[in-house]
Amino acid sequence: MNNLSRTVQQGSPRGKSFITRDIAYFIALSLSFFFSALSAVGQWVIVPVGSPTLTNANKGARTQALTLPFFDDFAFTVNGSPNPALWINGGTYVSNTFTIGQPTLNVATFDGSDANGRPYNFANPYVQGNGDTLTSQPIDLSSVDDTSAYLSFYTQLRGLGELPDTTDFLHLYFLNQQGDWKKVWGKEGPKHDNNFNYTKLALKPEYLHPNFQFRFISYGRLSGQFDMWHLDYVYLNKNRSKADDQYLDDIACTVPVNSFLKRYTSMPIKQYLAKATTEVTDTLRSEIRFLSRAFINTINISYTLKDEISGRVFQNVNNLQAPIKGLATLKQGFRPNAVTFSDTLKKVVLTTKFKILTTDGIPGVDLRRNDSISGRTELSDYYAYDDGSAESAVYFNRSLGRTAVRYVVNTPDNISAVRMNIVPTVKDMTGQSITIQVWSTEKGRPKNILYQKAYKVSYPAKFNEFVEFPFDYGVAVRDTFYVGWLQVGQDGVPVGLDRNNSHEDQIFINSGQEWVPYTSFKNDPSLAYFQGSLMIRPVFGTLKSSPPLTSVEPVEEPSWDVYPNPSRGIVSWNSGNVKQVEVFQLNGMRLRTQLVQPAESSIDLSQFSDGIYFLRLSNEKKTVVKKILLSK
C-alpha cells in the first residue's frame, strides 16, 4: 500500500493513568479505558462525538443502473451526505474537518452514530455491532472484460476522531450474480497509522453483472461517534492496468480555509465594525495537492472575498501563477482586506474562496469539482471560536464543576442568550439540569457571577447544530467576560470540541476551589493535553421583554465563608443572603437540600459520618461551593 502521509500528534494515547486532584483536568481518553474512568473524581473527560446490517441489495436502488466510470472524491455533498446519485447512505457523514492529510477536500466518515449524529444505541454504552454503511447504486458491469475492472480507494482510521479498538473493523463487500454479498477486503484496528492508505482490488468474473454493487460497513461501539474510519477517492473503472495507476493527474484543494477573523470564527456585527481593521486575520490559507507523478506543473489561482447574502464582492484576485511539483502540496495564502458595511445589517456572511484553473479529468469524469474551496465567516449576533464542527466532546465527570470560556467585546453590549453544541453520546442526557453562567473578570480570570439560570438539556435536531438557552434579561458587559456552565449532577453534559481551531488558552475550569487556566496543564506528563475550542457561543442583543442588567460591579459580599472548619456537626455561614444550602459527598451525590429562612445562619450535619463534604450555598444571583471537614 502507498501512503499520503502527514505527521501529527494525537491527543488520545492509551494507558494514561488518572490523577485525582482538587482542580479539574481535561483528559483525552481512548475508548478502551473510557468507561472505567466514569468513577474518577474531579476530571475533565474528552469523548468521541456522534444498527444498520447488510440489508437487501435493492433497497433504495435506482431504476436504471449506473455505467462506468464510477468516481467520487466526496467533493459534492447533499446536506452532509454523499451524493445520492451514486450512493445509498447508511449513516455516513461527509466533511472536511475530521481527517488529516486527506487526498482532496471532503471525506466520508464511518462511526457508531447516524448521519444526524445520534448514537445507534443510546440505551447501552457498551454495545457493539455494525455501524455506518455506504453502498453504491447498482452499476452495470455486464459488458466489462474480466481482466480490466478495478476498484480503488483511500482509507484512514481515526484522523481527529476516536481510534478503533482491536475488535473493530471496516469491511468491503461485493454483490455477486446470485445476489450474495461477499467480503473482499477488510481493515482492523487499532493500527497507529494516521495516514491515508491506498487500496486497489480486481473484480472477479462473478461480479461482472448488470446490477453490481459494493458496500463499505464499519463495526464498533454504537453509543456515539466511536471507532472512526474515513473513506476518500473511490474509483471503479474498466481498462485499468494491473500496474500502479494510483495517480490521475488531479490537482485538488484540500485543507479548510481559516477564518476571515484573527481572534474568532464569528463575531457580532456591532463588535466587528467597532474595530474592523484589527479584527481581520493577516493571512487566509489553504493547501493544494498535485496527485500526479509529473515533475512539475504551473497552475492559475484566484481568490474572492464576498458577502454570501448580498452578493457584494469586496476583493477579487485573478490569475496568480504558481508552480507545483508532482505528489507535493502547495500552501497558498492571501492577505484579505478589512471590509465595512452598514451597521443596520443583521447578518453578513463572508465567503473566502480559493479556486484553481485546471483541465483535470478522465474519460467520463470531470475532476475539476475539487478545484475550489471556500471558508465561511458569519458576522451577526454571536461570538465563536469554533468552526461549527465537533471532532470530540468534553464534560466534567464530577458534580459542581464549572467551565468558562473568555470573550472580549470591543464596545459595551448586552448578552441575551448562550448557544451550545450538546453532543449525543454514551448516555441520553435529555431533561438533565445544566446551569448557564456569565462571569465578570478580575486579574485575567472569572470573578463574579453576572447571570445564572438552570435549564433542561436537549439535543439539536442535526449533527453540529446548537441549542440556544435564552436569558430572562440582557446582561451588560463592557470588556472581558466569561460564559460557561455549572455541572449540577454527577453525569456530565458533553459539549462539542472543535479540534481544528486551537483556542484552549481561553478555557478556564473550577472544581469548587479556584479558577485555573486549562493551559496550566500543558506540560503535565500525566495528561494527554489536547488543543481545541469549546463550542459555546454568547449571543448579543437587548431583549424586548425587559431592560438589560447594567451593573457589573461586585456583589455586596465578595466572599461567603463557612465555619468552624473542621466542624463537629454545626456549620455556620457569614451571610444573611444565603437562600439555600445543599450537601454533597465527594463523588457528587447530593445528600441534603435545605431552604434557609431569614433568621437562619447554620445547618446541622451531625447526622453524617466523619469525612469531607461539599456545601453549596446559593441565592438567586450567587453560588458558592465550600469544602467542609466533619470530625466528631
What's the CATH number where 309 sits?
2.60.40.10
Of the candidates 589, 469, 584, 490, the residue with the CA atom closest to the CA atom of residue 45: 490
What does the pLDDT read at residue 37? 32
pLDDT at 578 over 70: yes
Q: Domain end: 354, 380, 406, which one?
A: 380
Amino acid at 120: Y
Give residue 505's domain range.
392-540
What does the pLDDT read at residue 69? 95
What does the pLDDT read at residue 217? 97
Q: Domain end: 508, 540, 572, which one?
A: 540
Residue 105 sits in the same domain as residue 226: yes
Mean of the per-residue pLDDT values of the chain: 84
Residue 489: give its domain's CATH number: 2.60.120
Tell me the percentage of the chain whose pLDDT exceeds 90.
57
Decide the pairing of beta strands 372-380 and 348-357: antiparallel
Decide the pairing of beta strands 26-28 and 44-47: parallel
Exposed e or buried b for every residue in 113-147, given b needs 16+ CB within 10 A? bbbbbbbbbbeebeebebbbbbbbbbbbbeebeee
DSSP 139: B
User: For residue 40, is it within any domain?
Assistant: no
* E strand or H helix at 277: helix 276-279
Mean pLDDT of the 56-68 span: 64
Number of domains present in the structure of the chain? 4
**C-alpha neighbours within 13 Å on the C-beta side of residue 323:** 4
Mean pLDDT of the 622-627 span: 82
Mean pLDDT of the 109-124 span: 92
Q: How many angstroms from the chain centroid is the CA of residue 216?
A: 24
Residue 126 sits in the same domain as residue 214: yes
**What CA–CA distance (Å, rounded) separates 564 from 586?**
19
Whether residue 517 contacts residue 486, with contact meaning beta carbons closer than 8 Å, is answered with: no
- Only one residue has cell 464596545, namely 411
Render pLDDT for 464-504 as a digit per residue (tens, 0 to 9).
999 999 998 899 999 999 999 998 777 789 999 999 999 99
User: Own/partner pairs for 515-520, CB < 8 Å, 24+ apart?
Assistant: 515/404, 515/445, 515/446, 516/23, 516/24, 517/445, 518/26
Residue 141: give its domain's CATH number: 2.60.120.260
Render pLDDT for 158-185 as a digit per residue (tens, 0 to 9).
999 889 999 999 999 999 999 999 999 9
User: For residue 386, is it within any domain?
Assistant: no
User: For residue 489, is it within any domain?
Assistant: yes
What does the pLDDT read at residue 515? 93
Q: Is 346 left (phi over 0), alpha (psi -120 to 50) or beta?
A: alpha
Amino acid at 522: K
Residue 151 sits in the same domain as residue 241: yes
Whether residue 109 contacts residue 230, with contact meaning beta carbons closer than 8 Å, is answered with: yes
Residue 619: give its domain's CATH number: 2.60.40.3080
- What band does 27 get if pLDDT is binned at 50, 70 and 90? very low
Residue 413 sits in the same domain as residue 483: yes
- In order, the DSSP letters of 557-624 are -S---EESSSBSSEEEES-S---EEEEE-TTS-EEEEEEPPTT--EEE-TTSPSEEEEEEEE-SS-EE
Render pLDDT for 534-569 as a digit per residue (tens, 0 to 9).
999 999 986 654 454 443 333 344 578 899 998 999
Ramachandran angles phi, psi of 454, nearest 5° = -85, 140
Min mean pLDDT across 49-53, 290-294, 437-441 is at 49-53
Residue 625 sits in the same domain as residue 491: no
Of the candidates 97, 587, 20, 174, the residue with the CA atom closest to the CA atom of residue 376: 97
Tell me the percentage of the chain whose pLDDT exceeds 70.
86
**What CA–CA distance (Å, rounded) separates 538 from 468?**
10
- What band does 20 get if pLDDT is binned at 50, 70 and 90? very low
Residue 375 sits in the same domain as residue 405: no
**What CA–CA distance (Å, rounded) separates 154 from 105?**
13
pLDDT at 620 over 80: no
Mean pLDDT of the 576-595 span: 84
Residue 140 sits in the same domain as residue 181: yes
Residue 348 sits in the same domain as residue 318: yes
Residue 118 sits in the same domain as residue 63: yes
Name the more confident of 555 and 529: 529
User: For residue 191, is it within any domain?
Assistant: yes
Q: Calculate the alpha carbon distances from 9 to 100, 268, 280, 483 in Å.
A: 11, 34, 29, 30
Amino acid at 631: S
Whether residue 268 contacts residue 143, with contact meaning beta carbons closer than 8 Å, is answered with: no
Residue 403 sits in the same domain as residue 524: yes
- What band does 400 get if pLDDT is binned at 50, 70 and 90? confident
Q: Calculate the alpha carbon distances from 164 to 40, 112, 124, 127, 158 in Å.
A: 23, 11, 18, 14, 7
- In order, the DSSP letters of 21-37 are -SS--EEE--HHHHGGG
